[in-house]
Amino acid sequence: MKIAVIGAKGLPAKQGGIEHHCEEIYSRIVRQGHSVDLFARSSYTGSLTIDKYSIQGVRVISLPCLQVKGMDALLSSALGAIASTGGSYDIIHFHALGPALFTWLPKVATTAKVVVTCHGLDWRRAKWSKISSELIHLGEKAAVRFANRLIVVSEELNSYFRQTYNINTEYITNAPSSLGTSDPNFQYGSSLGLSSGKYIMFMGRLVPEKLPDVLIRAFQTLKPEGYKLVLVGGTSDTGGYTSKLFELAADNPDIVFTNELNGPRLAEILRHAKLFVLPSEVEGLPLALLEAMQEGIPVLASNLPVHRQLLGIGKQRGMLFPVGDVPACVQSLDWALTHPQELALMAKEAQEYIKTHHNWDDIASNTLKVYNQLLEQVPDDHQPVPVPDDHQPVPVPDDKEKLKTRNGFVHPFSKILPWPNRPQQRINKFSLLPFPGTETITGQRK
């Protein structure tokens, strides 16, 4: 099976749930013998020109973009959609609602099955302008209209699409990333002036919808003796908001900004935290929260439906407080820091829950199952026709012809796409005749 992926910034994963999601599932799908091309942004990969490289067997194709807020995602997704039309893909998978704006292109220009994964209702995020939010919302409608299958990562999103559009979606959850080893001596943490088990941690992009300012205000109000607040994360087109956070915390030496962390340093800071807090007003299924639960770190989160799904009701696997409510956050922080035994029991329950319900092997397997189901379907408007006894296949085209689309034009990305050694035009395997509007073929889909 040949798969194209559009919507992730690139690989390897640095900061961002979609990149971690793609790295985890597609590395597993590649190991099962399938081919995966992921179209990336040059602003993420650092490539000045179109570039290709491999990460854990996934072929990353870096495309040009504009480093302008909102425009880099749109341009790279558009170019990825254009490029995917010439790659003879079986599956073209869009991640996130913004990139899904271009699902119509492979839908009308190829016979590949189009899949969209909604990781969250991004048009609700405060960082976007009105125009950007409307475009993302339009991407949501395009996903509903053009995708052969829509995947969601939480029960809340499943309910949203059923109630809003009266459609059924495929619910495939997310899972935490594998953080790997870390320094048990806590040397990096010590260099930041931290003490093991004596700080509260926030991890995520410093963007308005995650409300780190609520946590900063609550911490400054409580002033817990002997504790610090650590905010781990970089910006995401939100430099102005980040500056306001720095100003808010400027006079407090107990508030530490680490910027973006990865690998052993991230694992070290997370594993030695006393409490993890996520005060967001909008989330899809937050990987940062899953990672804290996986590591056995007690968690406090805003009372979003997805957080209730993960943490349960009544301090079952963690604590909840009303969204944006600073006094309630202060009260929850105070309770958490003064009830260590109850906190430890919740953390243990949360850790077991993650092991049972959020597993990358299962997620990759379920995603592959969706692909296989789509490729086995007969198009609704096509009836199988018996093959005449005298039916002769069209001769295999030469190399030049392979580089052409079915409209007869040389594809603009033909030089960077991995063209196969055998014909890859689509086949109706039930009748051995081509789908309407496609060429006669001689090969079988994997």
Q: Provide DSSP, 299-328.
A: EEEE--HHHHHHH-SSSSSSEEE-TT-HHH
Whether the predicted pLDDT of 443 surpasses 60: no
Instruction: Select the more confidently predicted residue: 61 or 401.
Output: 61
Q: Which residues, at least 6 apart from 288, have a Cβ–Cβ distance to it below 8 Å?
A: 17, 203, 204, 276, 278
Range with lowest mean pLDDT among 31-35, 316-320, 379-383: 379-383
Give the end-to-end CA distance of the chain in Å, rounded to a whole number. Answer: 5
Q: At what angle do helices 212-222 and 326-338 cross, to 10 degrees?
A: 60
69: pLDDT strictly greater than 80: no
Whether the per-residue pLDDT at 278 is higher than 70: the answer is yes
Percent of the chain with pLDDT over 70: 84
Does the pLDDT of residue 301 top 80, yes or no? yes
pTM: 0.80
Cβ(414)–Cβ(393) below 8 Å? no
> How confident is the prediction for the chain on average, in pLDDT?
86
Q: Specify the pLDDT at position 64.
A: 87
Pick from 10-19, 68-77, 418-427: least confident: 418-427
Which residues contact residue 272 at a Cβ distance below 8 angstroms, ignoring those fewer than 6 apart? 186, 189, 194, 196, 197, 199
Strand partners, 352: none
Strand 319-321's sheet: what is its strand order?
Answer: 255-259, 228-232, 199-203, 275-278, 299-302, 319-321
Domains and CATH numbers, the chain: 2-175+360-375 (3.40.50.2000), 188-357 (3.40.50.2000)
Give pLDDT tens digits for 314-364: 889 999 999 999 999 999 999 999 999 999 999 999 999 999 999 999 999
Give bridge partners of residue 275 from the DSSP assignment.
Answer: 200
What is the pLDDT, as a whole number, of residue 73?
A: 83
More confident residue, 122 or 151: 151
Q: Give the model's confidence band at 438: pLDDT under 50 very low, under 70 low, under 90 confident, else very high.
A: very low
Read off the pLDDT of residues 228-242 as tens digits, 9 standing for 90 and up: 999 999 887 777 899
Query: What's the pLDDT band for 66 if we cut at 50, 70, 90?
Result: confident
